[in-house]
Amino acid sequence: MNKLLVSFIVGCLATGSLVAAPINVTVFDGVMHTHGGAQSGTMLEDQEADKGSFNQLFDLEAFTWDSKTSVLSLIGEFDFQNGVTEGLSTIRGGDIFLDLNVDGIFEHAIVLDFDNITYDLLSVTESDLELFTDIYREFANPFKVKEGQGTLVIGGIDFDFQQNLSDEEIGFGLIGGNHYKIDLDLGSAGITGSFKAQYTMQCANDLIIAQVPEPALLSMIGVSLISLCLISRRKKTN
Ligand SMILES: [Ca+2]
Ligand SMILES: [Ca+2]
Ligand SMILES: [Ca+2]
Ligand SMILES: [Ca+2]
C-alpha cells in the first residue's frame, strides 16, 4: 500500500469520525416568535423565545448530541443554575425530560444538582409531574418533577456546566454572545440514542426539543461516507 493511499484512507476515516462529532439535534417546536432574523432548520430556535420575550434572557438555543460519547448537551442564553431574576421574582429552570420510544409520553427525567454538579435519572409517570395548566403554556409540558416524586434509576452522575461562553466558543452557529452549556454523559445512565428530549423553564417562555437518532443510523452514515471515499479513490486510480 503506498503512502498516498494510506493518507487517503486516514483522511476518509477522519471524515467518518467527523460524523460522530457532536451534531445539533434540535427540532422546531412549531411555535415561532422571531426577532433578529429567522434562521432555518435546526437553528430555528436560536434567537427565538416562544412567549415573544425579546430581551434574550430566556433564549434556549440547542440540544446537541455526540454519538461517540453519548453526551447530550443543552445550550441556551439562560442561567440553568440560578434562573433569571426580574424584580422580586426569580424564574428557575425545569428538569430535562426524555421520551425513549418517542410516543409522546416522557418516562424519564434528568434532575440536575448544581451543588454537587451531578444529575439523577428518574423514572416518572404523569402523576409525578408538575404541569402548566395555562392554555398558552400547555405545549411546554412537562416542566418539572414534583418534589420527592419519581423513582430513582441511577443517581450522582457527574455533568459539566459552563457559562459565559462566546459565540465562537459555543460553536454550532449559535448567536447572542452569553451562552450556558450543560454536558450530560447519558452513556453512564445506559442511554445511547434514539429518544426525544425536552426542556423549559418555570415561565415556559421558551421550549427546546431534541430528536436524537438511532446509534445505528449515525454509524451507517459514517460507513457510507468511508465507502464513498474508497469508491471515489478506486475510480481515480482506474
Ligand atoms: Ca420555538
Ligand atoms: Ca430560543
Ligand atoms: Ca415514551
Ligand atoms: Ca441566541
Summarised one tens digit per residue, pLDDT across range 27-84 is 998 887 765 555 677 778 898 888 776 566 789 999 999 999 999 999 999 999 999 9
Compute the mean pLDDT over every residue in the chain, rounded to the nearest whole number.
85
pLDDT of residue 55: 65
94-153 residue pLDDT tens: 999 999 999 999 999 999 999 999 999 999 999 999 999 988 889 899 999 999 999 999
- Is residue 212 a contact partner of residue 98, using CB atoms and an 8 Å limit? no
Strand partners, 146: none
Q: What are the φ and ψ backbone dihedral angles of 5, each rounded to 5 degrees?
A: -65, -40
Ligand 3 geometric centre to CA of 15 (Å): 34
Residue 139 shares a structural domain with residue 238: no
Residue 111 shares a structural domain with residue 13: no
pLDDT at 221 over 80: no
User: Residue 145 sits in which domain range?
Assistant: 26-212
Classified as helix, coil or strand, 212 is strand
Overall average pLDDT of the 187-214 stretch: 94
Q: What are the φ and ψ backbone dihedral angles of 227, each rounded to 5 degrees?
A: -60, -45
pLDDT of residue 12: 47
Ligand nearest, relative to CA of residue 126: 3
pLDDT at 16 over 50: no
Overall average pLDDT of the 177-195 stretch: 95
The percentage of residues in the chain with a pLDDT greater than 90, rounded to a whole number, is 63
What is the model's pTM?
Answer: 0.83
Ligand 4 geometric centre to CA of 60 (Å): 7
Ligand 2 geometric centre to CA of 196 (Å): 17
Residue 97 shares a structural domain with residue 11: no
Residue 144 shares a structural domain with residue 225: no
Number of domains in the chain: 2
